[in-house]
Structure 1
């Protein structure tokens, strides 16, 4: 029995609904970088990590709002008419999922940034630290070294 087709793929209509739904919940670091670079209105990027993690480095333009403080602070600090994009450390961490849930409970439109801060840095996007902005070299396993985006 095939490891791939042992469980049959969904029919096209079911697959379409599934993948469309995923895109309504998730975005990736390249798309966030593109929108931040173009100063696209309508998104607010939230770093849901601890103060120590934020100080170590974060996405330029992001707002620091640890998950435990979202319920109390978000209504006064995050506009209701935006799409909130949350991130935490990376794919091995469900902190962004927890933060997204907190925003959803408050009635916000929210997306999780896949890859989190780890992939932001690994793809060579700028990282803001207490010492200034730094760029880590692009990891060829996560991003094309010669281009700004993967052109997926």
Structure 2
């Protein structure tokens, strides 16, 4: 078997990491992040999901829509209120608006600095809604249809 040479186009101008380095990087990434579908599956399963879901946005944003069962604690209040609202023995999954916002990362950092084990929910509230999961507003619960650009509409499972 002959191997094909690696080209120097824009994708491979910087060569891929070694398999060992890639495994270490992606393994570490999964220790810090989860996604909307995995959080939704954990919350829908019977029993305790094993984590607290924390919405780190403002009250106005929370009222506009949030994941049912989430705890509301804006990032600016974490240092003064986290100890009263959260159990340090229970991991926390943070979310904010979406991929264009780093509020969930700032919230996760503040919690980690206080000694909490944390993960960030990639996609945030935007992808929660876009993937068609139920959310709560001041007026009640809503369940939008899934955006076919973000989630499979036929069977609900992407297979990843």
TM-score, normalized by length of structure 1?
Answer: 0.97
For 1:146 and 1:46, how far apart are their aligned partners in 2? 30
SS in 1 for 2:43: helix
Q: How far 1:81 sits from its partner (Å)?
A: 1.2
Q: How far 1:132 sits from its partner (Å)?
A: 1.1
Aligned length: 152
- Residue from 26, 38, 62 that aligns with 1:31: 38
For 2:24 and 2:34, how far apart are their aligned partners in 1? 17
RMSD: 0.9
Following superposition of structure 1 onto structure 2, how do residues 72-87 of structure 1 map, counting pairs within 5 Å?
A: 72-87=80-95
TM-score, normalized by length of structure 2?
Answer: 0.92
Following superposition of structure 1 onto structure 2, how do residues 1-152 of structure 1 map, counting pairs within 5 Å?
A: 1-38=8-45, 39-152=47-160
**Conserved in 2, the CA contact under 8 Å of 1:42 and 1:81?**
no
SS in 1 for 2:92: strand
1:33-77 CA-partner distances (Å, limit 9, x unpaired): 000111433200000000000000000110100000111111111
SS in 1 for 2:97: coil
For 1:8 and 1:114, how far apart are their aligned partners in 2? 26
For 1:19 and 1:141, how far apart are their aligned partners in 2? 24
1:9-46 CA-partner distances (Å, limit 9, x unpaired): 00011000000000000000000000011143320000
Runs of 4+ in 1 over 3 A off after TM superposition: none
Q: How far 1:79 sits from its partner (Å)?
A: 0.7
For 1:75 and 1:129, how far apart are their aligned partners in 2? 26
- Answer 1 or 2: which has greater strand percent: 1
